Amino acid sequence: MKKILTLFLSLILMATQAQNNASDRIETNKGPLHIQPILHGSLAMKWNGKNILVDPYGGPELYKSVNKPDLILLTDIHPDHLDKKTLAGINTSQAVIVAPQAVAEQLPAELKNQVVVLRNGDMSSQFDITIKAIPMYNLPEAADAMHTKGRGNGYLLSIGGKNIYISGDTEDIPEMRALENIDVAFVSMNLPYTMDIEQAASAVLEFQPKVIYPYHYRGKDGLSDVAAFKQKVNAGNDKIEVRLRKWYPEKK
Q: What integer pLDDT is reported at residue 10 of this predicted model? A: 42
Q: What integer pLDDT is reported at residue 3 of this predicted model? A: 40
Phi, psi of 92 (to 5 degrees): -100, 15
Of residues 207 and 64, more confidence is placed in 207
Q: What integer pLDDT is reported at residue 19 of this predicted model? A: 40
Does 227 score more than 90 pLDDT?
Answer: yes
Question: Coil, strand, or helix at residue 62?
Answer: helix
Q: What's the mean pLDDT in 85-95?
A: 95
Q: What integer pLDDT is reported at residue 45 of this predicted model? A: 97
CB 211 within 8 A of CB 184: yes
Q: DSSP state, 183? A: S
Per DSSP, which regions of the chain are E strands? 24-28, 31-39, 42-47, 50-54, 71-73, 96-99, 115-117, 123-126, 129-136, 152-159, 162-166, 184-188, 211-215, 218-219, 222-223, 241-242
pLDDT in tens, 110-169: 999 999 999 999 999 999 999 999 999 999 888 878 899 999 999 999 999 999 999 999
Q: What's the mean pLDDT in 210-239?
A: 97
CATH of domain 24-242: 3.60.15.10
Q: What is the pTM of this model?
A: 0.91
| Residue 148, number of CB atoms within 10 A of its CB | 15
Q: For the residues of 64-118, what is the DSSP string, one character each?
A: TTSPPPSEEE---SSTTTS-HHHHHHS--TT-EEEE-HHHHTTS-GGGGGGEEE-
Which of 138-147, 166-175, 190-199 is predicted with the least confidence, judged by mean pLDDT? 138-147
Q: What's the mean pLDDT in 211-238?
A: 97
- Mean pLDDT, the chain, whole residue set: 91
Q: What's the mean pLDDT in 165-183?
A: 97
Q: What integer pLDDT is reported at residue 16 of this predicted model? A: 42
Where are the chain's structural domains?
24-242
Q: What integer pLDDT is reported at residue 252 of this predicted model? A: 55
Q: What integer pLDDT is reported at residue 18 of this predicted model? A: 42
Give CA–CA dist 125/122, Å, rounded.
11
Does 12 score more than 90 pLDDT?
Answer: no
Q: What integer pLDDT is reported at residue 165 of this predicted model? A: 98
